[in-house]
């Protein structure tokens, strides 16, 4: 069985992208799915949030994407059973310039992650908050893209550019790429704007919008400062429950897709 590779992406910062990468990864791992998180954001917040201190990050995704190290040599086990991470360092901020020198600049990560026989069921890629060469590399390497969408007034405006990038990658370098889903984040059901964003998203995007919504939750904000996912920090919190539900929905969708293609 090959690992399923999912990019978690939104070019807008502050939408819960890294929070989703960490907690979806942890939730899949808790269900027994061997999961690798690839931190492709130079800020390295996913690495910090899973307990990998900056001063311990020797080799990183920078070395992997440039072909100087194999993923399994760089992957670090986390405190969550079945969850490992390839950490990021600020070196990644110069990776775009390095990749531009390569004639095959968009396939570096795909070539590195061709570990389909590696001991993982899922590989999640936490993309940087931009549609740069790192993100394009992630899309070319992936089976699908999961988009965290903050429930705010301008949420849908930036989504069109991301969907256009997915379409361009599909037409050029990865014809199998698809949208895994769009997950509403920072959702407050008492807020009329959140309700309106959900209605607009479901009207325009239909079944692409996941049924699970991630609420605004203090525990979600606190967990990274303790270097752990919210599923470990406070398993009974609304945030932890929501991410466990998201993992279950993702797995259920995958089963239904497998049956439909039978």
Residues 43-55: what's their mean pLDDT?
93
pLDDT in tens, 227-255: 999 999 999 999 999 999 999 999 999 88
Q: For residue 116, is pLDDT > 60?
A: no
pLDDT: is 2 or 218 the higher one? 218
pLDDT band for 43, please (50, 70, 90 cuts).
very high
Q: For residue 262, is pLDDT > 80?
A: no
Give residue 114's pLDDT. 82
pLDDT in tens, 175-194: 999 999 999 999 998 888 89
pLDDT in tens, 126-179: 999 999 999 999 999 999 999 999 988 787 887 889 999 999 999 999 999 999
Q: For residue 260, is pLDDT > 70?
A: no
Q: For residue 58, is pLDDT > 90?
A: no
**Contacts of residue 244, Cβ cutoff 8 Å, sequence gap at least 6:** 27, 30, 231
Which residues constitute the domain of residue 132?
Answer: 4-261
- Of the chain, the percentage scoring pLDDT greater than 90 comes to 77
Structural domain count of the chain: 1
pLDDT band for 257, please (50, 70, 90 cuts).
confident
Give residue 212's pLDDT. 97
Residues 87-101: what's their mean pLDDT?
91
pLDDT: is 58 or 108 the higher one? 108
CATH number of the structural domain spanning residue 163: 3.40.50.300
Give residue 55's pLDDT. 86
**Total residue length of the chain:** 262
Give residue 191's pLDDT. 87
**Residue 41 in contact with residue 85, Cβ under 8 Å?**
no
Bridge-based pairing state of the strands 122-126 and 4-8: parallel
Give residue 1's pLDDT. 59
pLDDT band for 261, please (50, 70, 90 cuts).
low
Q: What value does the mean pLDDT of the chain take? A: 92
């Amino acid at each position: 069985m090959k690992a399923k590779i999912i990019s978690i992406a939104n070019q807008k910062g502050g939408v819960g992208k890294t929070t989703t990468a960490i907690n979806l990864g942890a939730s899949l791992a808790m269900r027994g799915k061997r999961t690798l998180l690839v931190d492709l954001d130079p800020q390295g917040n996913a690495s910090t949030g899973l307990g990998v201190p900056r001063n311990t990050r020797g080799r990183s995704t920078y070395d992997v994407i440039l072909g100087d190290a194999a993923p399994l040599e760089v992957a670090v086990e986390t405190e969550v059973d079945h969850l490992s991470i390839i950490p990021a360092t600020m070196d990644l901020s110069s990776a775009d310039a390095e990749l531009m020198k390569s004639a095959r600049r968009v396939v570096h990560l795909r070539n590195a992650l061709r570990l389909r026989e590696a001991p993982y069921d899922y590989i999640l890629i936490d993309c940087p908050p931009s549609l740069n060469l790192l993100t394009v590399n992630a899309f070319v390497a992936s089976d699908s893209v999961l988009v965290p969408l903050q429930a705010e007034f301008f949420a849908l405006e930036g989504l069109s550019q991301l969907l256009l990038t997915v379409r361009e990658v599909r037409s050029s370098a990865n014809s199998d790429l698809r949208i895994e889903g769009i997950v509403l984040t920072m959702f407050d059901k008492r807020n009329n704007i959140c309700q309106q964003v959900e209605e607009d998203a479901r009207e325009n995007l239909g079944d692409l919008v996941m049924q699970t919504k991630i609420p605004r939750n203090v525990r979600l904000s606190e967990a990274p400062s303790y270097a752990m996912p919210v599923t470990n920090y406070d398993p009974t919190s609304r945030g932890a429950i929501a991410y466990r539900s998201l993992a279950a929905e993702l797995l259920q969708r995958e089963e239904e897709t497998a049956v439909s293609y039978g």
